[in-house]
């Protein structure tokens, strides 16, 4: 690898750009491929460019047989994101654990006494009302959304925006009873049964969690499961 390619790769990562590094496994020649441009030895090879761009989409690094050569396509996508509605107790361990697992975490809560740097050191905070905050942060298919306030006036606006997005995971804290009420309100707001069924509630895997940190583990475990099952399903298709 040329030092110049390595520096550009690191710059791309720092600026959270999606790209692929294409390596000819025989010669070692390399090309950086972006969704709309390319730079390097195979920058003009349509077959390689299209395979690399598909790989970026699928977030899937692997060896391809292309143009009679063995080509390793390594994808680099910006970190997955987690948007948490509610700067509540559970959000503290969850935001820290998710950061360790590689997520870019933002906590949304308009209540200034909860949403503080002291409670969430190093975590991005958004103090808007959850629908505005969620819209501004614009969840995509590499984003998980978790609502934790179990207060309809805060959770529902955030959920309504999240349900219209491609977020790969949506989860809401609250008992079965709380969730039944939520389903009723969302139905009244015009959401279909299929849309509402995207919400994981009660949130998290059922592992008998009691403390906030344990509940955070169950939520992060469920998000991990959904993430990988979705990738497996995409690969099987």
Partner 1 sequence: MADGNVATGLSLDDDVLNEAAKWRKEGRNVALATVVSTWGSSPRPTGSHLAVDEDGKLVGSVSGGCIEGAVVSEAMEVMQNGKPKVLEYGVTNELAWEIGLACGGTIQVFVEKVE
33, 66, 80, 134: which one contacts partner 1 (CB under 8 A)? 80
128 torsion bin: left (phi>0), alpha (psi -120 to 50), beta (else): beta
Kindly state whether residue 13 participates in binding partner 1, applying the rule CB under 8 A. Answer: yes
Sign of CA dihedral 7, 13, 18, 19: positive
Distance CA 236, CA 76 (A): 22
Instruction: Give me the phi and psi of 217, to 5 degrees please.
Output: -60, -45
Question: Is residue 75 within 8 Å of residue 139, measured between CB atoms?
Answer: no
Q: Which two tokens mark 207?
A: 């592992």
Which one among 43, 57, 74, 116 touches partner 1, defined by CB under 8 A?
74
The angle formed by the CA atoms of residues 156, 157 and 158, to the nearest 5 degrees, is: 90
Asked if 30 and 6 count as a contact pair (C-beta separation under 8 A), the reply is no
Q: Choose which of 17, 54, 69, 76 interacts with partner 1 (CB under 8 A).
A: 76
Judged by CB under 8 A, how many residues of this single chain contact partner 1?
35
Q: Report the residue number, 22 or 154, with the smaller CB distance to partner 1.
A: 22
Nearest to 171 by CA among 191, 201, 192, 196: 201
Q: Which residues 104-143 are close enough to bind partner 1 by CB under 8 A?
A: 142
CA-wise closest residue to 60 among 45, 41, 73: 73
Considering the complex, state which of residue 142 and residue 150 has its C-beta at the smaller distance from partner 1: 142
Of residues 181-220, those binding partner 1 (CB under 8 A): none
57 contributes a contact to partner 1 by CB under 8 A: no
Which residues inside 26-55 make contact with partner 1, applying CB under 8 A? Answer: 26-28
Q: Which of 19, 22, 23, 130 binds partner 1 (CB under 8 A)?
A: 23
Site string for partner 1, 157-186 (x = CB under 8 A): ------------------------------
Distance CA 154, CA 161 (A): 12
25 touches partner 1 (CB under 8 A) = yes
Q: How far is the CB of 39 from partner 1 (least distance, A)?
A: 17
Burial class (CB in 10 A: 0-12, 13-18, 19+), 43: middle
Cβ at position 77, least distance to partner 1 in Å: 4
Applying CB under 8 A, the residues found at the interface with partner 1 are 1-3, 6-7, 9-10, 13, 23, 25-28, 59-63, 72, 74-80, 101-103, 142, 227-228, 231-232, 235
């Amino acid at each position: 690898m040329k030092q110049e390619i390595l520096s550009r790769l690191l710059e791309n990562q720092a600026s959270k750009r999606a790209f692929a590094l294409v390596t000819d496994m025989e010669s070692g020649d390399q090309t950086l491929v972006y969704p709309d441009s390319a730079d390097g030895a195979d920058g003009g090879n349509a077959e390689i460019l299209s395979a690399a761009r598909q790989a970026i989409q699928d977030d899937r690094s692997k060896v391809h047989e292309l143009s009679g050569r063995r080509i390793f396509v390594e994808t680099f996508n910006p970190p997955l994101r987690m948007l948490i509605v509610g700067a509540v107790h559970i959000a503290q361990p969850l935001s820290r654990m998710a950061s360790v697992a590689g997520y870019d975490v933002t906590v949304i809560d308009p209540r200034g006494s909860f949403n503080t740097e002291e409670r969430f050191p190093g975590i991005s905070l958004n103090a808007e009302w959850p629908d505005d905050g969620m819209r501004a942060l614009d969840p995509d298919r590499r984003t998980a959304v978790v609502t934790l306030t179990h207060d309809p006036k805060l959770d529902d606006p955030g959920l309504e925006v999240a349900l219209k997005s491609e977020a790969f995971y949506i989860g809401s804290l609250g008992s079965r009873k709380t969730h039944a009420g939520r389903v009723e309100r969302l139905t009244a707001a015009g959401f279909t049964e299929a849309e509402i069924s995207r919400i994981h509630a009660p949130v998290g895997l059922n592992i008998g969690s009691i403390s906030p940190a344990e509940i955070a583990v169950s939520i992060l475990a469920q998000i991990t499961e959904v993430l990988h099952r979705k990738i497996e399903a995409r690969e099987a298709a």
